[in-house]
Structure 1
Amino acid sequence: MADKHIDDISGVETTGHEWDGIRELNNPLPRWWLWTFYATIVWALAYTVVYPAWPMLTSATKGLWGYSSRAELSAELSAAKTAKGDMLQKIAATPVKDILADPQLTKFATAAGAAAFKVNCVQCHGSGAAGGAGYPNLNDDDWLWGGNIEQIHQTISHGIRFQDDPETRTSEMPAFGDILKPDEIKQVAAYVVSLTDKPHNAALVEPGKQLFADNCASCHGQDAKGNREFGAPNLADAIWLKVKGEEQIVAQIRQPKHGVMPGWNARLGDATVKQLAVYIHSLGGGE
């Protein structure tokens, strides 16, 4: 056997391995580290005896303690389902306006409603409920049919212009292209624009105001602030649902677009609809 090589600087024996003139020192592991390593081996062996560990053909060893993470998860899910079921029963039995008077029910309904909203409503209203072109923003105070909790519940339950539900909310603006002349439509549009902005031709505003009073005020009101009984929008604010700009207002008056929202009560059940109503009401735009 070759003589052992001792490093000149450290005085430690080397392993005999050498790379580019660099020799590897043969420093033993500290005793505490070694005993810790041995302890982990003993711990691992004991663990495989106590807990399920060793795979077999169709199952695995059960372990001395008979522990099962699946059984624990199943028990937790069962307990959560039971607790959730109790809350759902309370919500189903409680009028929607009274849910807001119960902080515990409100908290549960808001969280559950947020989840239901993400599954059923974001496709039209967006993940933040800010809406999009032709779809209402549910975060503001501009409500076609009213924004208190009962009105929101009614809208979600039965929808808007939803033919499958006889209790659906229905309003339909007539096509004034069949009633007014093209120049008269431009005059009405100019007046409507003047309520929040400057029209292209200010001279059209006054005749448009009279035409509005004769043809539009019965739904939108003499002040053009809308009527929630008919779902008629407020035209005196700067919030527009289906149009943007004077040309689109002209087009809407001539041949209006009518949106449709399904009635969700038959699909989701009253408890989920109540949760959705509470969540939407909580966004800040409710009354």
Structure 2
Amino acid sequence: MAHNVEKDDVTGIETTGHEWDGIKELNNPLPRWWLWTFYACIIWSIGYWVIYPTWPLISSHTKGVIGYSSRQDVMDKIADAKAAQAQYLDRIEVASLADIRNDSELLNFSLAGGKSAFAVNCSQCHGQGAQGFKGYPNLNDDDWIWGGLPEEISATIHYGIRSDHDDTHYSEMPAFGRDELLEREQINQVVEYVLKISGQEHDEAEATEGQTVFVEQCASCHGNKGEGMRDFGAPRLTDAIWLYGGDRQTLRETVNNARFGVMPAWTNRLDEATIKQLAIYVHSLGGGE
């Protein structure tokens, strides 16, 4: 029985006989080069299945002829890197911070390691560049509540601030308004005085009255002139560096409700070498003393 071959009027190519909404499908075979490439890929995949680990099993996988494992390759590289670092980490662990800073090899290694450790453990609160945020100190400036010497920074990292460690730095500011230790008028007066000693616009009459309140209620921690006292973790109030903000509204909120920021103790979370590297790195940022 003869087969009727239909050809497209425009291209002259045979059709497959399929038609959709008046559109006919042309019988255009795939190019030979494409088909041979496809066949070659199939052959290649079969060879890959044989040589490399490929198919998952119930509790394992096919190992392949050569038994290659990319995971093991990564683990080997990590082990090699740790072995290369060990010679420095072992020295850092037993060396003092002063010795590390005086040894160019250990110093450079500590700065690199500290930067990496900071990104993993500290940047979430202090920022990638240690610039800080509201309630989280900027570590690039020279305003240190608990001290900016390498040893003091190390102690802060070890034990934290108001953490659950027995040796933590601890201070607690009274909530003068919430606990009704001062009247609203007295709070407004002491806020004006703090604005005055920090070089901001203020009400002079209120500030004069506020000085008396400050000496009676605040000077025992912040100093008679607001210069701050590290023994009590009380910040300096005479500069333009503020942890929570130095505007009138924020100062009122601080005096009313107090602040109680917490930094965790890292002594049981990080090893000694890592903490030393962090202390060296933080000190190098520009604000260390």
The answer (yes or no) to whether the contact 2:163–2:262 under 8 Å persists in 1 is yes
Aligned counterparts of 1:174 and 1:38: Cα–Cα separation in 2: 79
The question of 1:110 aligning with 2:125 is answered: no
Q: How far off its partner does 1:282 sit? A: 5.0
Q: How far off its partner does 1:153 sit? A: 1.3
2:148 aligns to what? 147
Deviation digits for residues 46-93 of structure 1 (CA, Å, limit 9, x no counterpart)? 222222234556544332222223332332333344345444323323
How many residues align? The count is 279
Aligned counterparts of 1:187 and 1:61: Cα–Cα separation in 2: 78
Show the 5 A alignment for 1:66-145. 66-100=67-101, 101=104, 102-117=107-122, 122=125, 130-133=132-135, 135-145=136-146
Report the secondary structure of 2:151's partner residue. helix
Question: Which residues of structure 2 form unaligned runs of 5+?
Answer: none
1:62 aligns to what? 63
The answer (yes or no) to whether the contact 1:114–1:276 under 8 Å persists in 2 is no
Aligned counterparts of 2:232 and 2:58: Cα–Cα separation in 1: 70
TM-score, length-scaled by structure 1 = 0.73
Deviation digits for residues 2-46 of structure 1 (CA, Å, limit 9, x no counterpart)? 222233332322222233333322223222222212211221122
The letter of the residue matching 2:41 is T
Aligned CA distance change for structure 1 residues 184 and 80 (closer, same or farther; 3 Å):
same
The answer (yes or no) to whether the contact 2:88–2:109 under 8 Å persists in 1 is no
The letter of the residue matching 1:197 is Q
1:33 aligns to what? 34
Which deviates the most, 217-226 or 45-54? 217-226
The answer (yes or no) to whether the contact 2:134–2:245 under 8 Å persists in 1 is no
Which deviates the most, 66-75 or 204-213? 204-213
Which deviates the most, 54-63 or 74-83? 54-63
Aligned Cα root-mean-square deviation (Å)? 4.0
2:14 aligns to what? 13
2:46 aligns to what? 45
The answer (yes or no) to whether the contact 1:113–1:275 under 8 Å persists in 2 is no
The answer (yes or no) to whether the contact 1:220–1:227 under 8 Å persists in 2 is yes
Report the secondary structure of 1:24's partner residue. strand
Deviation digits for residues 236-269 of structure 1 (CA, Å, limit 9, x no counterpart)? 1233346755577578679965655454324434
Aligned CA distance change for structure 1 residues 11 and 204 (closer, same or farther; 3 Å):
closer
Which deviates the most, 143-152 or 184-193? 184-193
Q: How far off its partner does 1:114 sit? A: 2.2
Aligned CA distance change for structure 1 residues 34 and 226 (closer, same or farther; 3 Å):
same
The answer (yes or no) to whether the contact 2:159–2:165 under 8 Å persists in 1 is no
1:280 aligns to what? 282
Aligned CA distance change for structure 1 residues 35 and 165 (closer, same or farther; 3 Å):
same
The letter of the residue matching 1:132 is K
1:194 aligns to what? 196
Aligned counterparts of 1:271 and 1:83: Cα–Cα separation in 2: 15
Report the secondary structure of 2:155's partner residue. helix
The letter of the residue matching 1:280 is V
Q: How far off its partner does 1:204 sit? A: 4.0
Question: Which residues of structure 1 form unaligned runs of 5+?
Answer: none
Q: How far off its partner does 1:107 sit? A: 0.7
Report the secondary structure of 1:268's partner residue. coil
Q: Which of 264, 267, 285 is the aligned partner of 2:266? A: 264
Q: How far off its partner does 1:115 sit? A: 0.9
